[in-house]
Structure 1
């Protein structure tokens, strides 16, 4: 993955460009010391002067009103908030006319940001004050009074608190009076830039000491960068929270959410004062000290599934290759590609206007349909359907392009992270964003009948702890659909969704990442120094059976925050904390056994166990055959794992069942 950078030979601004902000996925506003507000149209490459402000107008920060849907009404005010060096903030409309100007601070107004819900905004100034204002520019409250300049202040993703800088300290001030202030020393130098992501709830800070650091909301350090030669003047999360960008003097560095670097570019732009991502997370714009507005597009994104590899090699070009047959093709699209998903024998490409569904057996004849809106944050694939998450809502489509369902999940679907949503062949699970102890599981139509959002059967699961990760099993009938979840204590639970009395059964603790096999009901989890495979999750009701059917393998040097990417044929693909990939053969024979059982091939399953002669494999066969009432197979399997009390019970059942049938 890398950045494709472009900017004009001659800058359109005269002097420093201090701030940039996106209007939509194709339009950018920029403002600088030449008092001009410019609008850039990326599709046709035009640059228009929207307004020329007075001579004393020196902007420092700019933020456009957030794109939100309130009560299903798409009509909203489209205005720009600009903070200036004279202590004023200005509310400007899209035509460049100043609607309101207010003197907010003594000295410069260094930060201004709309709240995520659009109900108001905050400003921070050189006088050390942080103030909250109504949408119309009326002062609501003075939240912070400090004796040091506040170089930056931002809202928390849920609007409940404000993160601001105080010298080399970071401080989280909760707006409710009952909560304590969270304060910690973050850097050795003055902190110049901060960013807080809604999807992963992590914070980045950039400082004069040349370091950028990642923090959680409790002030615990997640990652620290290498030391840069110059101060970090800007940081910005991508909307999905899977990567971030940092800017310094003649430097742009794209990093993964764990902190390791994707790419490093050194454009001749001077200091990068502001960086903004487009809402689809594929483009960014940067305000530079030499008058340039820099644009960058993410390319060389790679996706793999079994023997297929897909790479985005240009803004509108995707390359796909079958590694086994060495068949290679290049797919061109009429619009810019924003999302790619590969799996379950399909390649799904979303552009700004349309979605293309390719079968891997025939790449050049895709199914297409128009999108509601050109801001897609995620595409999830399952065996029989796909899920598209965009700002307008969540939609479930068949692979023929037919809309199957539109489940309602809240007011801001684009803030749902990948850990908070999971798609199965017939179900969709979403963590409730307002109450993260609650999980909503929607039953999806398996035919071609279109359902409205009110027709879906919804199962509401309530856990005792806050849930951080959910994952639906990918095989079996809907009556046996299982949901695995991780809570904030890193405990792993599994629950059968369609049970009349849903019971959360604990499988393990200190689990960092989970994933189901796409072909069987094999659940794999990752701990700090090991990988664990639960071969029979239904055995969780019997602790001794669960222990016998669990496989664990020690792994060293996984680093911080490793994650599971896939499980195929019992081989787990793990992404280490430094970004390198590791393939671990964990449960090849148990997964083969599970496939035999799913196909009702009990003699083949028995022959596999006799050949391998592994106690865990026999234990899996014993539990599975007992659950499927294969008593003869279960008797042999339990005998070989020394569960003699179960053997005696099976023999008793086999002797009494014929008598009951005869009577």
Structure 2
């Protein structure tokens, strides 16, 4: 990937303080106030007090307003109402400009000053709207940070000391503020009674900060010639090599994992892990230090203000996606090269509008321009299907049957024929759309998973099967901790759909999107710890995850999730010391996992026998699956076959597989299952119970109207409350169940030599004692 830059305007202005006879000379003021008002328009202002707008359409700049002569701007930030930064609010867009005399002004879209407020006793170094659009912060050289309402009313003073604040930025969720003083960086949570986090970050002054909306990490640049990356607790994740000059600006891309770093005459495009994609050096003419970097809302362009007063616009090219035999590379702002690696043929696709995003997979290329979506089939590359009216596409995700688009207004799921399949909505979804990222969404084979932004512990699951009720009534799954990353499986059958997620504690969980009977399920199983990233295979239900210094492959994460023994047998963990640090998962297609480390692609093969076994199981070829296991003779193969066969009620095959995996207890249990009536509710429930799926077993018995057996199951599991609940619910048809539950509870307490303590059982004990007394 490379940066292509263009110097848009030499900002030469007249020095108003020069003597009259020298007024014909022009000087260059530093350009430190630059921001996008839309994806085509840039506003910038310098010490000449004039606000200019540069248009990408006309390629020229015009003056739109003039500030007072005593107002010297230090920062500029647009609040784009109705766009990403505002949380979907209504109203006209608003511009915030701060000055070196402690004032800030709020202007409307037509550049008319609505409020002018004296906020600080010294220069304001940062003035920033919050990501949710509810307010703004001002940080000054008087060591004070204040939070204001959107209309300019003071809400609170969150930081107050004597050391000057050089830069301040909001957290992506608007609940914290990061700021720098001297060589230190501090994070101030806005919650009541929360403690300030402060650490020594650079050897010299910290000059710039940026907080990523994608990865929740912080970048800093300092006078020690280095840029560094930190997590939200202040732990160092990356430290760059020393550059030739101080790092004057850093900026994370709002939509992708890119970090742009600016220093003297140099722009560097990096991955959010720190390694560099490409550098753009400016020598003739010299542009000086980059004081301001501002990405456009769609993340495709960046505006840069320099110390010599130049406005530079850059955009990333040679972005590359690879899927099997296809490789798509962006050649310019309006063209993409699609190459078939197998045949060596290449087609250059030109578009009438600027390319905003593109996705590749399953034999299709989906390209989003500013107002259209183009769908290419690799077999019919010259006849794309075009969808009109899709503006500002932020995320494209492709799956086997559908592809998903997240734009500025909603989420859309299309078939590859261009037909709209689903426009999912859930409570509060419209307000959350601008704050969603690609980490909040996952498109599976037949399910769409969306993390709720207002409650990050909540996951909404939409059915994509035509006619399914959950297309417009999603099933909500609640985790114990906030969700950091989600992934819906991309293969399987309609009954074998799973979703995996990593929570805030970096623990990995798996849940079914529906069980074999098609019912909703809320069961969540933990299968891993200390995970950074996960990805499902493209054609099988195999999962790969990256830890700090190793990676793991789960060959049976779905069917075996409820059984720790099966998970242990089917999980392989390998060291990544030879790869290096900061590994990410690029793709997982067929049996090849591709990792990326420091820019290099590192393909790794998973167990080929497991890949072939999964494909055989998807097609129901049980005898073929047995042959594969006998040929491979590996415990993970047999355990995978055993878990899938048990779930599908293939008891004979399951018994052989468990026996080969040396699971003798399960073999004995299977022999007991064979004594039950084949395919009966009792046998199917016991089968589910063996896999550890107690809720599924109970559901099978209740649907089969086996009430006595359902109560007996709860009693066997010592689930006393559930046993009492079922008995009370069905006491009209089964009056003997209540006495049985009470009697079993009494035996249990007698064995423990304890009195009754459960408030649900106490009324029954009191009633029984009263009856005995009356007799």
**Given the two structures, how large is their TM-score scaled by the length of structure 1?**
0.93
Q: 1:493 aligns with which of 509, 512, 525?
A: 509
C-alpha deviation, 1:413, in angstroms: 2.2
Q: C-alpha offsets along residues 53-76 of structure 1, whole Å, 9 cap, x if unaligned?
A: 343332111011233369997741
Q: Which runs of 5+ in 2 are unaligned?
A: 14-27, 681-775
Residues in 2 aligned to 1:562 and 1:149: alpha-carbon distance in whole angstroms: 37
Question: Residue 344 of structure 1 corresponds to which residue in structure 2?
Answer: 362
Instruction: Please identify, of 71-80 and 81-90, the stretch whose mean Cα deviation from structure 2 is larger.
Output: 71-80
Q: C-alpha offsets along residues 597-636 of structure 1, whole Å, 9 cap, x if unaligned?
A: 1112223222323333333323323333333333443344
Residues in 2 aligned to 1:34 and 1:353: alpha-carbon distance in whole angstroms: 37
Q: C-alpha offsets along residues 492-535 of structure 1, whole Å, 9 cap, x if unaligned?
A: 11111224442211212222221111111112222333332222
Residues in 2 aligned to 1:153 and 1:659: alpha-carbon distance in whole angstroms: 65
Residues in 2 aligned to 1:619 and 1:580: alpha-carbon distance in whole angstroms: 35
Residues in 2 aligned to 1:250 and 1:556: alpha-carbon distance in whole angstroms: 36
Question: Residue 234 of structure 2 corresponds to which residue in structure 1?
Answer: 219
Instruction: Please identify, of 90-99 and 585-594, the stretch whose mean Cα deviation from structure 2 is larger.
Output: 90-99
Q: Matched residue of 1:540: which SS?
A: coil
Question: Residue 593 of structure 1 corresponds to which residue in structure 2?
Answer: 613
Q: Matched residue of 1:582: which SS?
A: strand
Describe how 1:602-641 pairs up with structure 2 within 5 A: 602-641=622-661
Q: 1:189 aligns with which of 183, 194, 204?
A: 204
Q: C-alpha offsets along residues 287-327 of structure 1, whole Å, 9 cap, x if unaligned?
A: 11222100001100000001110000100000001111112
C-alpha deviation, 1:273, in angstroms: 0.9
Question: Residue 66 of structure 1 corresponds to which residue in structure 2?
Answer: 80
- Is 2:54 aligned against 1:40? yes
Question: Residue 568 of structure 2 corresponds to which residue in structure 1?
Answer: 547
Instruction: Please identify, of 294-303 and 643-652, the stretch whose mean Cα deviation from structure 2 is larger.
Output: 643-652
Q: C-alpha offsets along residues 134-161 of structure 1, whole Å, 9 cap, x if unaligned?
A: 2222333333222122111222222223
- Is 2:161 aligned against 1:146? yes
Instruction: Please identify, of 273-282 and 108-117, the stretch whose mean Cα deviation from structure 2 is larger.
Output: 108-117
Question: Residue 565 of structure 1 corresponds to which residue in structure 2?
Answer: 586
Report the CA distance shift for 1:638/1:126 in structure 2 as closer, same or farther (over 3 A).
Answer: closer
Q: Matched residue of 2:431: which SS?
A: coil
Question: Residue 156 of structure 1 corresponds to which residue in structure 2?
Answer: 171
Residues in 2 aligned to 1:72 and 1:580: alpha-carbon distance in whole angstroms: 37
Question: Residue 368 of structure 1 corresponds to which residue in structure 2?
Answer: 386
Residues in 2 aligned to 1:162 and 1:74: alpha-carbon distance in whole angstroms: 22
Q: Matched residue of 2:561: which SS?
A: helix
Instruction: Please identify, of 112-121 and 307-316, the stretch whose mean Cα deviation from structure 2 is larger.
Output: 112-121
Question: Residue 394 of structure 2 corresponds to which residue in structure 1?
Answer: 377
Question: Residue 484 of structure 1 corresponds to which residue in structure 2?
Answer: 500
**Contact kept? 1:69, 1:411, Cα under 8 Å:** no
**Contact kept? 1:355, 1:368, Cα under 8 Å:** yes
**Contact kept? 2:80, 2:94, Cα under 8 Å:** no
Report the CA distance shift for 1:271/1:643 in structure 2 as closer, same or farther (over 3 A).
Answer: closer
Q: Which has the larger radius of gyration?
A: 2
Residues in 2 aligned to 1:659 and 1:66: alpha-carbon distance in whole angstroms: 60
**Contact kept? 1:553, 1:586, Cα under 8 Å:** no
Residues in 2 aligned to 1:389 and 1:223: alpha-carbon distance in whole angstroms: 31
**Contact kept? 1:380, 1:386, Cα under 8 Å:** yes
Report the CA distance shift for 1:140/1:657 in structure 2 as closer, same or farther (over 3 A).
Answer: closer
**Contact kept? 1:529, 1:557, Cα under 8 Å:** no
Question: Residue 432 of structure 1 corresponds to which residue in structure 2?
Answer: 452
C-alpha deviation, 1:10, in angstroms: 4.6
**Contact kept? 2:79, 2:133, Cα under 8 Å:** yes
Describe how 1:76-91 pairs up with structure 2 within 5 A: 76-91=91-106
Residues in 1 aligned to 2:588 and 2:101: alpha-carbon distance in whole angstroms: 58
Q: Which runs of 5+ in 1 are unaligned?
A: none
Question: Residue 336 of structure 2 corresponds to which residue in structure 1?
Answer: 318
Report the CA distance shift for 1:297/1:656 in structure 2 as closer, same or farther (over 3 A).
Answer: closer
Q: Matched residue of 2:347: which SS?
A: strand
Question: Residue 413 of structure 2 corresponds to which residue in structure 1?
Answer: 396
Q: 2:248 aligns with which of 233, 241, 253?
A: 233
Residues in 2 aligned to 1:299 and 1:634: alpha-carbon distance in whole angstroms: 53
C-alpha deviation, 1:210, in angstroms: 1.5
C-alpha deviation, 1:649, in angstroms: 5.4
C-alpha deviation, 1:177, in angstroms: 3.0
Instruction: Please identify, of 173-182 and 15-24, the stretch whose mean Cα deviation from structure 2 is larger.
Output: 173-182
Residues in 1 aligned to 2:375 and 2:180: alpha-carbon distance in whole angstroms: 46
Residues in 1 aligned to 2:523 and 2:128: alpha-carbon distance in whole angstroms: 44
Report the CA distance shift for 1:647/1:190 in structure 2 as closer, same or farther (over 3 A).
Answer: closer
**Contact kept? 1:68, 1:412, Cα under 8 Å:** no
Q: Matched residue of 1:515: which SS?
A: strand
C-alpha deviation, 1:407, in angstroms: 2.0
Report the CA distance shift for 1:155/1:624 in structure 2 as closer, same or farther (over 3 A).
Answer: closer
Larger helix percent:
2
Residues in 2 aligned to 1:590 and 1:251: alpha-carbon distance in whole angstroms: 49
Q: Matched residue of 1:606: which SS?
A: helix
Q: C-alpha offsets along residues 376-427 of structure 1, whole Å, 9 cap, x if unaligned?
A: 2211111111111122121222222222222233523243233322111221
Report the CA distance shift for 1:456/1:90 in structure 2 as closer, same or farther (over 3 A).
Answer: same
- Is 2:263 aligned against 1:248? yes
Number of equivalent positions = 654
Instruction: Please identify, of 3-12 and 650-659, the stretch whose mean Cα deviation from structure 2 is larger.
Output: 650-659
Question: Residue 148 of structure 2 corresponds to which residue in structure 1?
Answer: 133
**Contact kept? 1:18, 1:33, Cα under 8 Å:** no
**Contact kept? 1:30, 1:39, Cα under 8 Å:** yes
Report the CA distance shift for 1:334/1:649 in structure 2 as closer, same or farther (over 3 A).
Answer: same
C-alpha deviation, 1:216, in angstroms: 1.5
- Is 2:591 aligned against 1:579? no
Q: 1:331 aligns with which of 345, 349, 355?
A: 349
Q: C-alpha offsets along residues 463-510 of structure 1, whole Å, 9 cap, x if unaligned?
A: 122221111112233333111111222221111122444221121222
- Is 2:327 aligned against 1:309? yes
**Contact kept? 1:424, 1:474, Cα under 8 Å:** yes
Instruction: Please identify, of 429-438 and 608-617, the stretch whose mean Cα deviation from structure 2 is larger.
Output: 608-617
Q: C-alpha offsets along residues 172-206 of structure 1, whole Å, 9 cap, x if unaligned?
A: 22333311111111112111211112232111111
**Contact kept? 1:512, 1:528, Cα under 8 Å:** yes
Residues in 1 aligned to 2:657 and 2:132: alpha-carbon distance in whole angstroms: 59
**Contact kept? 1:349, 1:355, Cα under 8 Å:** yes
Question: Residue 301 of structure 2 corresponds to which residue in structure 1?
Answer: 283
Residues in 1 aligned to 2:501 and 2:652: alpha-carbon distance in whole angstroms: 35
C-alpha deviation, 1:652, in angstroms: 6.4
**Contact kept? 2:463, 2:471, Cα under 8 Å:** no
Report the CA distance shift for 1:411/1:363 in structure 2 as closer, same or farther (over 3 A).
Answer: same
> How well do the aligned residues superpose, as a CA RMSD in angstroms?
2.5
Question: Residue 736 of structure 2 corresponds to which residue in structure 1?
Answer: none
Report the CA distance shift for 1:157/1:651 in structure 2 as closer, same or farther (over 3 A).
Answer: closer
Describe how 1:397-412 pairs up with structure 2 within 5 A: 397-408=414-425, 409=429, 411-412=431-432
**Contact kept? 2:432, 2:454, Cα under 8 Å:** no
